[in-house]
Amino acid sequence: MVVGVFAVWRGTQGARWRELAPGLEFATVHGEPYCRRGSAAIAVLRMDPERVKLRVRHFTRSQERRPLDVVEWQRHTKAVAVFNAGQFYPDMRYMGLLASDGEWVSKKPHPGYQALLVAGPQGEEERTSARVIDLAGESNSPDSLPWNEVAQSYMLFDTTGALRVRRSERIANRTVVAEDREGRLLVMVSEGAYTLADIAHVLQHSRLHLTHAMSMDGGREAELVVALGSFRYASFGVWEQGDEHPSAPAARVPLPAVVSVELP
């Protein structure tokens, strides 16, 4: 355990942040020895929620009227970055609450999911424009919270440090959204396959200073594209249980819902 924690600390202490725009930075950290397959690299997009805009996108509200892959979503929205939202059913219905531009796409809460990624506050009482909310600490109904952009998923770990997912040997690429001690939002997408418990351990013992985190959809749906000026980055969730080699054509799977990061 000591060796593992030291390896994680060493892998993240030297993260070199590249400023893409005021309030928006990118870095790559590494999760050795916890990555089970593929690259141990984890892409990290760190943002000041007061200086960028997060929007939830759903295909039913797009001009294409069909699920797009993450590259198509980025081209369609012209956003700085796009990453996959939460989980969905085989018929493309979203699992849980989903709101886009103040309108509900799905207003049925998922009883097992205790996390919300929210943005675009509707009232003056909110002091920040985007947050990760732990519903375990909320007394109000989640569909009554005053936010224009809402995506529901499950908590990975909370502010007490407690792991909020079951331990399992299932491996997959992961997408995680977290807050740090300074109230910044961080989107992290792994290039290789981790268990949920392992990636939680990596992030909690990193130098990212995270306070709590939620997990979005994983597996092939764990996708991230960043494009601004001459900077380009893309990661597709190609490593899953049983995969021997990544399959490029199958990597860019259609996503019914994504979150876009835009500059004002």
Q: Model-level pTM?
A: 0.90
Which whole number is the average pLDDT over 106-120? 95
Kindly indicate the confidence band of residue 239, based on its pLDDT and cuts at 50, 70 and 90.
Answer: low
- pLDDT at residue 250, as a whole number: 52
What CA–CA distance (Å, rounded) separates 52 from 111? 30
**Is the pLDDT confidence value at 245 over 50?**
no
- pLDDT at residue 14, as a whole number: 57
- pLDDT at residue 127, as a whole number: 60
Higher pLDDT, 190 or 220: 190
Kindly indicate the confidence band of residue 124, based on its pLDDT and cuts at 50, 70 and 90.
Answer: low
- pLDDT at residue 246, as a whole number: 44
What CA–CA distance (Å, rounded) separates 211 from 192? 24
What would the two tokens of residue 122 be?
């509707």
**Is the pLDDT confidence value at 202 over 50?**
yes
Half-sphere exposure of 112 (CA within 13 A, CB side): 6
